[in-house]
């Protein structure tokens, strides 16, 4: 009798794991696909829950699948196909001495934004949720209810500080990130950019220096530049955010008036500061009496088991101005945002009175109602699952179709992938080629006031995944190969 005939059969859970692994390797099950639940597989195979659970644990230990809170098990990219993340940024040390032709950057930003008006273009460039991700019918119903219940059907001015019901619900919601706010701590605004504008107006004068991450959202760069501020772009890690040692060094060498950070799922990198970094930054800036403007607009779009905290939760002196909105989560066009401005609340309120008198009455009431009755959290659970699924599909397509040596971020939330290509590839030229095929991307050059990131680009995974979208990413990869 041959020796191998005496070899015992592998455990049952290993046999099940091997069958699923083969389907993954044969592309029967693809990246982002959901596996049957443990209960479903027990019923179909006639095995107990312990066996199926062990099989899934085995596949998880091999990094073939991953579990998502309240959702189940999903196929992830095999370790051998995973791309490296982009290297930390090293912006020039001379502040915002812009490129030779800063108008070129302005023109590029304008051009990319105009793509949004063309319904035939696949918008991989703009960081807004696709309309299919939004609860349109429920929002319409809430809007109708607001017109019936508000005095004058919502045609009158609201309080300067903002809708009281909305501020109360936002204060309750702050518990999700470790906040301890009340309605008097908050001022509502027309979206998050409006909140950031008020903060910079309250804290700076032309010629002052604002320290930010690099790369940074082009809207923030354009805002600061338009206010005559000197922008100090600091080294940033694509995973953990701003390099704290670089921030410490900058504080000792330059007179920084204010620091502005996107602490969770940064735009464009998708980086997220660990809790220890948030605490250290908050304490460091407090020690040097430097206000921190914290943009947390993507914080609710996390893919993990719990919402990440904020720098604001470590604020003991009111020096952190916390900004947020529902523009990326619920209704971009509603323009409902807010700021918890700490010791600067009265100043922000006066600025709002001078600039806009009050916030939009109807949309503030609708958002307040969504928060109050739990619809917001219910909506977010579905949205987070979709965005996580999208991100995995996009990353897998980039790994398959983009040139060798491509690097891409692995965000734990938000909307964005930051892609670093070979230095010989100019992503402005890539944009010009891609738009001819109806594909819009955001070249890396948009995300700095300095001459850097010319070989990088940002892709948004806010569009629903489809076979047609995969073809567009494949085509984009081919154009990059050329």
Instruction: From first to last of the 482 residues of the chain, give the pLDDT tens digit.
Output: 444 444 455 788 888 888 888 888 777 888 888 888 888 888 888 888 888 888 888 888 887 888 877 778 888 877 777 899 999 999 987 554 444 455 578 899 999 999 988 999 999 998 889 999 999 999 999 999 999 999 999 999 999 999 999 999 999 999 999 999 999 999 999 999 999 999 999 999 999 999 999 999 999 999 999 999 999 999 999 999 999 999 999 999 999 999 999 999 999 999 999 999 999 999 999 999 999 999 999 999 999 889 999 999 999 999 999 999 999 999 999 999 999 999 999 999 999 999 999 999 999 999 999 999 999 999 999 999 999 999 999 999 999 999 999 999 999 999 999 999 999 999 999 999 999 999 999 999 999 999 999 999 999 999 999 999 999 999 999 999 98
Alpha helix stretches (DSSP H) within 48-135: 49-61, 102-114
What is residue 161's predicted lDDT score, i.e. its pLDDT? 96
Q: Is the CATH code 3.40.309.10 the one for domain 153-374?
A: no
What is residue 39's predicted lDDT score, i.e. its pLDDT? 87
**What does the domain layout of the chain look like in residue ranges?**
3-81, 102-132+378-481, 153-374
Count other Cβ atoms within 10 Å, centred on residue 182.
12
Q: Contact, 392 vs 74, CB < 8 A? A: yes
Q: Which of 49, 54, 43 is nearest to 13 (CA)?
A: 54
Q: Contact, 59 vs 20, CB < 8 A? A: yes
β-partners of residue 440 are: 123
What is residue 57's predicted lDDT score, i.e. its pLDDT? 83
DSSP category for residue 373: T
pTM for the complete prediction? 0.89
Q: Which of 350, 340, 362 is nearest to 160 (CA)?
A: 350
**Which of the following CATH numbers is that of domain 3-81: 2.50.20.20, 1.10.10.10, 2.160.20.10, 3.40.50.2300?**
1.10.10.10
The answer to whether domain 102-132+378-481 and domain 153-374 are alike in fold is no
DSSP result, 298-318: TTT-B-SSS----SGGG-SSS
What is residue 3's predicted lDDT score, i.e. its pLDDT? 47
What is residue 5's predicted lDDT score, i.e. its pLDDT? 46
What is residue 100's predicted lDDT score, i.e. its pLDDT? 41
**CATH code for the structural domain at 102-132+378-481:** 3.90.1150.10
Q: Contact, 251 vs 290, CB < 8 A? A: yes
Name the token pair of 206: 């032309």
What is residue 205's predicted lDDT score, i.e. its pLDDT? 97
């Amino acid at each position: 009798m041959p020796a191998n005939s005496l070899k015992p059969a592998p455990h049952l859970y290993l046999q099940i794991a091997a069958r699923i692994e083969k389907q993954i390797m044969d592309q029967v099950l693809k990246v982002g696909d959901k596996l049957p639940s443990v209960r479903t597989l027990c019923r179909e195979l006639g095995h107990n829950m312990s066996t199926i659970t062990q099989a899934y644990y085995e596949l998880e230990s091999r990094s073939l699948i991953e579990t998502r809170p309240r959702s189940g098990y999903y196929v992830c990219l095999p370790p051998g196909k995973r791309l490296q993340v982009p290297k930390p940024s090293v912006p020039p040390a001379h502040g915002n001495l812009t490129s030779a032709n800063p108008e070129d950057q302005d023109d590029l930003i304008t051009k990319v934004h105009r793509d949004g008006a063309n319904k035939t273009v696949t918008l991989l460039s703009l960081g807004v949720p696709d309309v299919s991700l939004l609860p349109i019918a429920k929002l319409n119903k809430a809007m109708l209810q607001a017109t019936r219940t508000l005095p004058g059907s919502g045609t009158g001015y609201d309080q300067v500080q903002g809708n009281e019901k909305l501020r109360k619900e936002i204060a309750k919601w702050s518990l999700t990130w470790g906040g301890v706010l009340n309605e008097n701590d908050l001022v509502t605004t027309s979206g998050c950019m409006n909140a950031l504008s008020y903060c910079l107006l309250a804290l700076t004068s032309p010629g002052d220096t604002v320290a930010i991450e690099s790369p940074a959202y082009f809207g923030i760069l354009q805002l600061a530049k338009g206010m005559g501020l000197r922008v100090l772009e600091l080294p940033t890690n694509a995973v953990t955010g701003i390099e704290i040692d670089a921030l410490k060094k900058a504080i000792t060498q330059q007179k920084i008036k204010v620091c502005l950070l996107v602490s969770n799922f940064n735009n464009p990198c998708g980086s997220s500061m660990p809790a220890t970094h948030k605490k250290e930054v908050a304490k460091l800036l407090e020690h040097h009496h430097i206000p921190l403007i914290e943009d947390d607009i993507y914080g609710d779009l996390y893919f993990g088991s719990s919402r990440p905290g904020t720098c604001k939760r470590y604020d003991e002196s009111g020096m952190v101005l916390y900004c947020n909105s529902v523009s990326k989560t619920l209704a971009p066009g509603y323009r409902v945002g807010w700021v918890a401005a700490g010791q600067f609340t009265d100043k922000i309120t006066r600025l709002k009175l001078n600039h806009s008198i009050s916030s939009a009455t109807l949309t503030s009431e609708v958002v307040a109602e969504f928060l109050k009755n739990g619809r917001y959290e219910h909506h977010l659970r579905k949205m987070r699952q979709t965005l996580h699924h999208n991100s995995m599909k996009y990353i897998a397509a980039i790994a398959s179709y983009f040139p060798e040596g491509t690097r891409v971020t692995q965000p734990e939330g938000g909307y964005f992938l930051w892609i670093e290509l070979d230095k010989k590839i100019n992503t402005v030229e890539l944009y010009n080629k891609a738009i001819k095929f109806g594909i819009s991307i955001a070249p890396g050059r948009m995300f700095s006031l300095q001459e850097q990131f010319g070989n990088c680009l940002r892709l948004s995974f806010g569009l629903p995944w489809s076979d047609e979208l995969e073809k567009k990413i494949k085509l984009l990869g081919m154009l990059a190969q050329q």
